[in-house]
Amino acid sequence: MVGSYDLPYWKGFVASSLGPATAVLFTNPFEVAKVHQQMHGELSQTRARPSLATVFRNVYTKGGISGLQAGLSAAIAREGTKNIFRIGAYEPILDGLKKLQGADKATIPTRIVAGAASGILASYTCNPLDLLKTRMQARDLIGLSANHGPITEVRALMKEGGVARLWRGSHVSAFRSALATGTNLPAYTVVKEYLLQQRGLKDGTVVHVTSAMLAAFCTCVANNPVDVLRSRLYNQQASRTLYTSAWDAFVKVLRIEGPTAFYKGFWSHYIRAGPHYVLTFAFLEKIRYVMHKYT
C-alpha cells in the first residue's frame, strides 16, 4: 500500500487529496521556475539556459512573491482533485489486478500497470486544472497580467475554443501521467518495502524521505521530456500556432533545439518534485494515521 495504515478506500481517497494539496503550498515556486525554464528558447537554437537562481530572481523582480506563487490556487485545486484518482485509485486498481492474477503480493510490473492506469484516469479527468495551472504559472511569458485570475482564464479559453479547449494537450498529459505515476508510486512502495523488510529500518521519517527522493528522481528522468512537450502545448497561443500536435512538437523541438531540450528544467523539476513527494507522502502518512486512529 502507499501509506503505512490500511484504510477503507474512501478514506484513502480523502488522504490522497489532502496530502498533495498541502505539499504544493511549499513547492509551487519550483514548479513556476520549471515551467519558465521549459519555455525558454522555444524553437530557437540558443544553448544558453538560465539557472534556477536566475529564473527565481527574474520572476521575483517582475512579480514579487505573487510571481513566485503564480497559479497557486489552480495548483491547490489540481493537486487536491487529481490525486484523488492518481494516488487514491492506485490501491483499488492494484487490488483488482492482484485478484485477477490470484496473487497475494503485487509484482513490480503489476504495480507499474496500476500506477499508469491511475495516472491516465487522473490526467483525462483533471486536464482543465493541469492546463490552467501551467498557464497561470507562465502568465508573464504568455502575456497574462497579474490580475488575470483562474476564472478569467477559463472564460478566455472557452471563448477561444469552447469546452474542448480545456482538454488541449490531454493525450500528451495522459502519457506523461502514465509515466509519472507508473514510476513514482511503484518506486516509492518498492523502496519503502526494501528498507523496512530487507534493511530492517524503522517505519518513519528516514524511510519516507529516502523512498520519496528516489521515487522523485526516477519520475523526473522518465517524464521530463513529455513534461517539456506538455508545457509547450499548454502555453501555445491561438494567435501564434507553433505546433499542430504532440508529435509535431516533438519533431520540431528535436530538430531545432536538439535532444537535450527535452531535459530543460530537469533540476528545477527534481528540486520541486523531491521535496513535493517528501511532503506529499509525509502528510499522506500522517493523515492516514489520524484517520486510522480517530475515525
6 contacts: CB under 8 Å, gap ≥ 6? 292
Mean pLDDT value of segment 179-199:
93
DSSP-assigned letters across all residues of 31-55:
HHHHHHHHHTTTTS-------HHHH
Retrieve residue 65's grid coordinates.
512573491
Place of cell 482533485: 81
pLDDT of residue 46: 72
Of the two residues 46 and 242, the one the predictor is more confident about is 242
Helical axes 9-39 vs 52-68, angle rounded to 10°: 120
| Cβ atoms < 10 Å from Cβ of 65 | 9
Residue 149 in this model has a pLDDT that exceeds 80: yes
CA dihedral over 234, 261, 21, 13, signed as positive or negative: positive
147 band by pLDDT with thresholds 50, 70 and 90: confident
Mean pLDDT of the chain: 90
Share of the chain above pLDDT 90, in %: 61
Residues comprising the chain, all counted:
295
pLDDT over threshold 90, residue 80:
yes
pLDDT digits (tens, 9 = 90+) for 213-223: 999 999 999 99
Structure-model confidence comparison of residues 157 and 237, the more confident one: 157
For residues 104 and 2, the model is more confident at 104
Q: What are 251-292's pLDDT values in tens digits?
A: 999 999 999 999 998 998 998 889 999 999 889 888 888 888
DSSP-derived secondary structure for the chain = --SSS---HHHHHHHHHHHHHHHHHHHHHHHHHHHHHHHTTTTS-------HHHHHHHHHHHHHHHHHTTTHHHHHHHHHHHHHHHTTTHHHHHHHHHHHHT-SS--HHHHHHHHHHHHHHHHHHHHHHHHHHHHHHTTTTTT--TT--HHHHHHHHHHHH-GGGGGTTHHHHHHHHHHHHHHHHHHHHHHHHIIIIIS---SSHHHHHHHHHHHHHHHHHHHHHHHHHHHHHHT-BTTB---SSHHHHHHHIIIII-GGGGGTTHHHHHHHHHHHHHHHHHHHHHHHHHHHHH-
Per-residue pLDDT tens over the stretch 57-69:
999 999 999 999 9
CA distance 20 to 25: 9
Q: pLDDT digits over 88-121, tens only?
A: 999 999 999 999 999 888 999 999 999 999 999 9
Amino acid at 137: Q
What is the CA 4 to chain-centroid distance, rounded?
A: 23
Residues 6+ apart with CB under 8 A from 221: none
203: confidence class by pLDDT, cuts 50, 70, 90: confident
Which domains are present in the chain? 9-294 (1.50.40.10)
**pTM of the model as a whole:** 0.81
Percent of the chain surpassing pLDDT 70: 98
Cβ(288)–Cβ(91) below 8 Å: no
The predicted-structure confidence for 229-259, as pLDDT tens digits, reads as follows 999 999 888 777 899 998 999 999 999 999 9
> Does residue 47 have a pLDDT over 80?
no
Of 29-43, 136-150, 204-218, the one with minimum mean pLDDT is 136-150
pLDDT band at 42 (very low <50, low <70, confident <90, very high): confident
pLDDT at 1: 59
Q: What is the per-residue pLDDT for 24?
A: 94
pLDDT at 219: 94
What's the CA gap between 289 and 91, in Å, rounded? 17
Instruction: Write down the pLDDT at residue 4.
Output: 59
CA distance 282 to 128: 27
Q: How far apart are CA 80 and CA 146, in angstroms?
A: 24
User: CA-to-CA distance for 124 and 19, rounded, in angstroms?
Assistant: 21
